[in-house]
Amino acid sequence: MPATPGRIDGLLLDMNGLFRHWRDTGARASEQLARLPEGTIAHYAYAHPTYRLARVGVLTDQQWADDVANRLAATYGQAVRGALTAWRGDRGEVVPEMVALLPKLRQHLPVGVLSNSTDALHADLKYHQITFDHVFPSADLGVDKPSPFAFRAAAGRMGIPLTSLAYFDDEPTFVHAARTLGMHAFLFTGVQAFTARLRRLGLPVPADPLCPEKSSCAQP
């Protein structure tokens, strides 16, 4: 059925900053165990070109992590490998209000997640028990944000025109890129502002995502 002009037929959301926060507790624990300077793992993992290759699917997440371990071991010794378990095991902390709100939104329209991520996003969502209708790590698309091809690919796979999608991200550059494509794109600044914007878009949203039914949260 053709999309109605101005109507929102689907939501496309960023992952990190909305549903998950990275505190880097695992990286710090690994650095302390291996007696590495603080920030060493971030430098070797995310500031190296192989991370971009993993984000666009040239490397798998495991191949990228193996490369990080190899480079760290070459500099700091082979014993560092055994200290990386905490870093790899840290999958971030979820935002409970957003996770609770998600199934309520999915009752009314399809919701997709578009994240600049390695292919580990699928396993991470399963680990955190977060379910979207559509999951688009940039590694699956072969392109990352803010490229227009990333947004077009996600919209195409959802079967919804860009102009009928509402998009939320905590990165202003990505929001700007989405707007230039005609998407209803908004900067995510918090759960309350997010739900308020959804209401202005005409979408039904519970007053309290963690307590959709007031009676069930009444104080004894």
Rounded Cα–Cα distance for residues 56 and 37 (Å): 29
Rounded Cα–Cα distance for residues 13 and 210 (Å): 19
pLDDT of residue 216: 45
Upper half-sphere CA count for residue 118 (Cβ side, 13 Å) = 19
Q: How confident is the prediction along the chain (220 residues), in pLDDT tens digits per residue? A: 444 447 899 999 999 999 999 999 999 999 999 999 999 999 999 999 999 999 999 999 999 999 999 999 999 999 999 999 999 999 999 999 999 999 999 999 999 999 999 999 999 999 999 999 999 999 999 999 999 999 999 999 999 999 999 999 999 999 999 999 999 999 999 999 999 999 999 998 876 666 644 444 544 3
Q: Are strands 20-21 and 93-94 parallel, antiparallel or unpaired?
A: antiparallel
Q: For residue 18, what are the CA distances in angstroms to 25, 113, 133, 153, 194?
A: 19, 10, 16, 21, 10
pLDDT of residue 217: 52
pLDDT of residue 219: 44
Rounded Cα–Cα distance for residues 21 and 198 (Å): 22
pLDDT of residue 211: 60
> Which secondary structure element, helix H or strand E, spans residue 48, and what is its range?
none
Contact 202, 9 (CB under 8 A): no
pLDDT of residue 206: 77
